[in-house]
Copies of this chain bind each other. A is one copy, B any other.
Amino acid sequence: MKQSKTVAYLGPAGTYSQLALLNHFGNDINQCPCLSIDEVFYATEQRLADAGIVPVENSTEGSVNNTQDLLMDSMLCIVGEEVVPIEHNLLVPVDAPTMKIHAIASHGQSLAQCRRWINSHYPKAELIECVSNAEAASRVDAARGVAAIAGSLAARTYQLAIKMKGIQDQMHNSTRFLVLGHIPAMATGSDKTTIIVYTENRPGALFKVLEPFENLRISLTKIDSRPSKKEAWEYVFFIDFEGHQQDINIAELFERLADCTQQVKVLGSYPVYSGQQ
């Protein structure tokens, strides 16, 4: 079944997203690289792809806002998650390993994740923000002294040399990806659910939302606020918690949440990442 599956991801080839895709689905799929996270959603929604995989959170830099905002409006459901350890490297041309570095290209989040290392090693380098680490790798240029920060998959893809390995400021740096699809995932006994909660904009609203979790002893694994996009300075909450929407206590949770929120959007229940697929 997996052989004919098409999966959309944030391309081009060589990104951490492609690594997440390969780790999650293996090699026997059709890869559909997209130019942006928006396009991954679009390709999956339009059934040009059977599934999509998007970054949602980095353990150092926090949530990927664009993914969260797209989830607010999408009809897709979250059917899985994947965690990829991030190891950033300074990449230079194979034939000019000692070139003088005037500029460093990378994705904004990657530049942020190496902020201290860059400040101490190349404080004067111009920083070139790119739409992906792979695009940054493709911009490496001996004549102009442009190096890139990217993973080893990008080094292989663009045939670059790794001048310095593991330059991210936090050694335990991982990115969490969500797998998007059309058919809700079945309960496995070790599941997680993601919801978006719209509350009334009044004091104590969040406390009221958390009360049923506390009383039903349901573990929150993450909570995050985002602008509601409806009114300025109004927020919605993204909540991840343990359990599957088919579980009895989660059904009870939803009943109680209905009494103290404006709206709850269930993005999906899916197996907790275990390190093995």
Taking beta carbons and an 8 Å cutoff, which residues of A are in contact with B?
38, 58-62, 65-66, 108, 112, 115, 119, 127, 129-131, 170, 172-174, 203-204, 206-207, 210-211, 213-214, 217, 219-220, 222-227, 229, 231-233, 235
Q: Smallest CB–CB gap between A232 and chain B, Å?
A: 4
Which of A108, A112, A207, A222 neighbours the largest number of chain B CB atoms within 10 Å of its CB? A207
Q: In whole angstroms, how far apart are the Cα atoms of A38 and B130 in the complex? A: 20
CB contacts (< 8 Å) of A59 on chain B: these are 227, 232-233
When the two chains form their complex, are residues B60 and A227 in contact, meaning their CB atoms are under 8 A apart? yes
- Tell me the complex Cα distance, A188–B91, Å: 54
Chain B min CB distance to A59 (Å): 4
Which residue in chain B gives the minimum CB-CB distance to A108?
B108
| Closest CB in chain B relative to A6 CB, distance in Å | 23
Least Cβ–Cβ distance between A60 and chain B, in angstroms: 6
Q: List 10 A-B contacts (CB under 8 A).
A: A60-B227, A170-B232, A174-B233, A203-B219, A204-B214, A206-B210, A207-B214, A222-B225, A222-B235, A223-B225
B233 touches A220 (CB 8 A): no
Residues in B with CB closer than 8 Å to A129 are 108, 129-131
Expressed in whole angstroms, the Cα–Cα distance for A206 and B59 within the complex equals: 19
A219: chain B residues within 8 A (beta carbon): 203
The CA-CA distance from A129 to B235 in the complex, in Å, is 27
A55 to chain B, nearest CB (A): 14
